Homo-oligomer: A and B are copies of this chain.
């Protein structure tokens, strides 16, 4: 959620004429994401998306070819900021135990703060099982999430002076599974779903390391 001013003003061009287009796409995406997070992929109509924004419903086709392109753009745009969520954890952790704590806390935090975005992601990924045209984007995002987990795990092993016991796809699959489970529980209003996620991650992480000797 960094400010949307471009990287800088290289010379005297305060607003590049062609970048305005990109700016608008992002603005549209940001308000579309709110509606998509509320209603999900199928139920969010272009009119509803436009109503919850400062634009009219027709403008979507000026900036996007069709509904699918808008939605893929939105999720890509969101996930782009998402994959660096644990960079701070990796950078600042001082010991294996510290890293585990920080990682678990961050996982809980993002469920509390961005549950609608996460359910939208799972919605889109499920849709991609039916809709061929979603698969490329979903595959790429999934890969970048796996890489994110891999970085955490690598740093964890480094701090513990050992090696990861599992390849990163497995680790990602596992975390994704219990994360999804916690998200579902949280949305169901099940008390303790978040605290359970925390303890589960804490007790799971050590198992992902190869024995020291």
Chain A residues at the B interface, C-beta cutoff of 8 Å: 38-43, 119, 122-123, 125-130, 135, 138-139, 142, 165-166, 169-170, 172-178, 180-181, 183-184, 187-188, 196, 200, 203-204, 207
Question: Which B residue sits closest to A175, measured CB to CB?
Answer: B177
CB-contact partner of A123 in B119, B127, B139, under 8 A: B127
Q: Which of B123, B130, B138, B177 contacts A174 (CB 8 A)?
A: B177
A40-B127, A122-B129, A123-B129 in contact; A181/B188 too (CB < 8 A)? no
Main secondary structure of the interface of A (DSSP, over half): helix
Residue among A173, A175, A176, A180 with most chain B CB within 10 A: A173
Whole-angstrom CA separation of A126 from B130 in the bound complex: 14
Whether B40 contacts A142 by the Cβ 8 Å rule is: no
Interface contact B178-A170, CB-CB below 8 Å: yes
In the complex, the count of this chain's copies comes to 2
Given A177-B173, A178-B170, A207-B207, A184 and B130 contact (CB-CB distance below 8 Å): no
| Complex: A178 Cα to B176 Cα, angstroms | 8
State the Cβ distance, A171 to closest chain B Cβ, in Å. Answer: 10
Q: Which residues of B contact A176 (CB under 8 A)?
A: 177, 180-181
In the complex, A38→B131 CA distance in Å? Answer: 10
- Nearest residue, chain B, Cβ from A37: B130
Option from B122, B165, B196, B207 in Cβ contact (under 8 Å) with A126: B122
Q: Are A180 and B177 in contact (CB under 8 A)?
A: yes
